[in-house]
Amino acid sequence: MEIDIQNLSFNFKTQNIFENTTVSFTEGKISFIMAPNGRGKTTLLKLILGSLNASQGLINNSAKNNDTYVLFDNLELYKNLTGMDNILFFTNFRYSKLAIEKRAQRYLSEERLSKRVSTYSLGEGKRLSLII
């Protein structure tokens, strides 16, 4: 898998985030992206994963939609709901409770899924996000 970005440009409202940016990430090599807050690191990941569309340029990501997952630090979960309620809500009730429990058992126990997310540790919240 390789991620190849050519002449990427992206604007958020009137702010230019990327302008004619070119970079490649090679399989088997660890890449480190470092920049001050607000410089577009998360935006770049969202562009690579296809959850945002570039203004112009080409992003070739052979892994997109193929077992690629990213969990960001800010967990956007409803803390007053249970883990199961969050899963049902964020998946738009597309899956049965039985199907969810089957998948979820690898990451969280049924007991934990029945508890409010406000009682979860950061790691449990990330596991819940992964289930979703």
The CATH number for 20's domain is 3.40.50.300
Q: Is residue 16 in a domain?
A: yes
Domain assignment present for residue 69? The answer is no
Range of the domain at 53: 2-61
Q: Which helix (H) or strand (E) holds 93?
A: none
Same domain, 56 and 13: yes
- Domain assignment of residue 73, yes or no: no
- DSSP β-bridge partners for residue 72: none
User: pLDDT value at position 65?
Assistant: 57
pLDDT at 8: 95
- Rounded Cα distance between 132 and 119, Å, is 18
Q: Where are the alpha helices (DSSP H) in 6-82?
A: 41-49
Q: Is residue 53 part of a domain?
A: yes
pLDDT, residue 73, reads 64
Number of folded domains in the chain?
A: 2
Task: Decide if 72 is inside a domain.
Answer: no
In a domain, 104, yes or no: yes
**pLDDT computed for residue 70 by the predictor:** 66
pLDDT over 60 (residue 69): yes
CA 60, CA 40: separation in Å to the nearest integer? 19
Per-residue pLDDT tens digits for 117-126: 999 998 899 8
Cα 123 to its chain centre, rounded Å, is 15
Question: What phi and psi values does residue 8 have, to the nearest 5 degrees?
Answer: -75, 130
Percentage of residues in the chain having pLDDT higher than 90: 33
